[in-house]
């Protein structure tokens, strides 16, 4: 990627400053340490994607207003990334009035206060990192709206706010339906080399999210779903593909909208999340991940695996111990 941002091979730092169980500074100070960033660099990665929730950045004031602060954890991560030669993509994972998975309660797009706080967060980040290299901003994680036009409008406003302060800052934008590849076609395309486009890839869900406790149709299935293999007869997902062979070509069919987007716009793409849950057989995790990285390499799509530590998808467990050497070897350079 251009503008001093290298996003070819990376990993997410999920569970640290986002999706934490409680707002706990001890957790923020201990979950990710310098040795974790050093280890990620030693694996041949060139960047980390850092999800962060708005309470980490915002401070509530007595008069019921907010000020943007709380950058110390981001600054610490940036200093480690600079030391070990990694770029940093800051992803606003949860915003005032919006959290992925709770889209039906979203107020960000029609509540003036939440909208202003959203713009204020990005204004604060733009001021704080103004002129610094090797940092990108991802505006919001996995939106879900009946109509994405309110998101398109907010994207335009936010880009304008950021670039008025920090002229050269790379900005990442994803589409509707949880950053689905088939929603890229509906995004406004900017003839601006500072704007990049992202999607997430967790297809087929019966493989990547088998037995996931937060996915009702899959949490109680008793069978192990293997990849490669035949698509199982689970009616909640993909009735039209039951019995079809799941292999690299099968995965590529779900990528076709991303391929079409690149061909029609001339824009490169970045897959900010992909991975297989730890409930799946290890051979399935390895084979699926290997095929996805092969496809990304073929198509020149940068990527960040979900996720580095724990979070049901981790390469290492909560103690920091490697989950599986073969799984690691599928991603390392």
By DSSP bridging, strand 229-230 and strand 245-246 are antiparallel
Q: How far is the C-alpha of 318 from the C-alpha of 138, rounded, in Å?
A: 26
Residue 140 CA to its chain's centroid (Å): 9
- Among candidate residues 35, 273, 298, 325, the one labeled active-site is 273
273 is catalytic: yes
Q: How far is the C-alpha of 206 from the C-alpha of 225, rounded, in Å?
A: 7
Is the previous residue joined to 228 through a cis bond, with omega within 30 degrees of 0?
yes
Residues making up the chain, counted from first to last: 333
Strand extents, DSSP E, the chain: 9-12, 47-53, 58-60, 66-68, 87-95, 98-99, 135-138, 171-174, 195-201, 229-230, 245-246, 269-274, 302-305
- Among candidate residues 34, 59, 142, 239, the one labeled active-site is 142
35 is catalytic: no
Alpha-carbon separation of residue 166 from 69, 117, 133, 161 (angstroms): 18, 19, 11, 9
Q: How far is the C-alpha of 48 from the C-alpha of 308, rounded, in Å?
A: 9
Picking from 178, 195, 183, 188, the residue whose alpha carbon sits closest to that of residue 140 is 178
Q: How far is the C-alpha of 328 from the C-alpha of 333, rounded, in Å?
A: 10
Q: How far is the C-alpha of 96 from the C-alpha of 293, rounded, in Å?
A: 34
Active-site annotation, residues = 142, 273
């Amino acid at each position: 990627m251009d503008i001093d941002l290298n996003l070819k091979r990376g990993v997410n730092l999920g569970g640290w400053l986002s999706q934490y169980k409680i707002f706990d500074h001890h957790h923020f100070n201990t979950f990710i340490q310098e040795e974790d960033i050093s280890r990620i660099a030693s694996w041949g990665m060139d960047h980390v994607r850092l999800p962060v929730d708005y309470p980490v950045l915002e401070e509530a004031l007595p008069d019921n207003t907010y000020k943007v602060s709380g950058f110390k954890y981001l600054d610490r991560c940036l200093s480690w990334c600079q030391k070990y030669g990694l770029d940093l993509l800051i992803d606003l994972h949860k915003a005032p009035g919006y959290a992925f998975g709770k889209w039906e309660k979203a107020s960000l797009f029609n509540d003036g206060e939440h909208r202003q706080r959203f713009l204020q967060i990005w204004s604060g980040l733009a001021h704080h990192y103004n002129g610094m290299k090797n940092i990108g901003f991802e505006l919001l994680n996995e939106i879900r709206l009946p109509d994405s036009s309110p998101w398109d409008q907010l994207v335009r406003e936010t880009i304008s706010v950021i670039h008025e302060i920090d002229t050269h800052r790379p900005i990442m934008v994803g589409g509707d339906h949880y950053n689905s590849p088939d929603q890229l076609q509906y995004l406004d395309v900017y003839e601006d080399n500072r704007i990049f486009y992202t999607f997430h890839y967790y297809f087929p869900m019966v493989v990547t999210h088998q037995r996931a406790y937060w996915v009702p149709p899959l949490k109680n299935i008793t069978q192990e779903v293997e990849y490669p293999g035949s698509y199982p007869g689970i009616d909640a997902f993909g009735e039209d593909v039951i019995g079809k062979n799941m292999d690299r070509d099968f995965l590529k069919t779900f990528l076709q909208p991303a391929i079409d987007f690149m061909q029609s716009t001339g824009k490169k793409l970045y897959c900010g999340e992909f991975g297989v849950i730890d409930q799946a057989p290890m051979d399935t995790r390895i084979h699926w991940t290997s095929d996805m990285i092969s496809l990304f390499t073929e198509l020149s799509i940068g990527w960040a695996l979900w996720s580095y530590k724990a979070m049901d998808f981790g390469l290492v467990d909560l103690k920091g111990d490697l989950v599986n050497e073969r799984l690691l070897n599928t991603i390392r350079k």
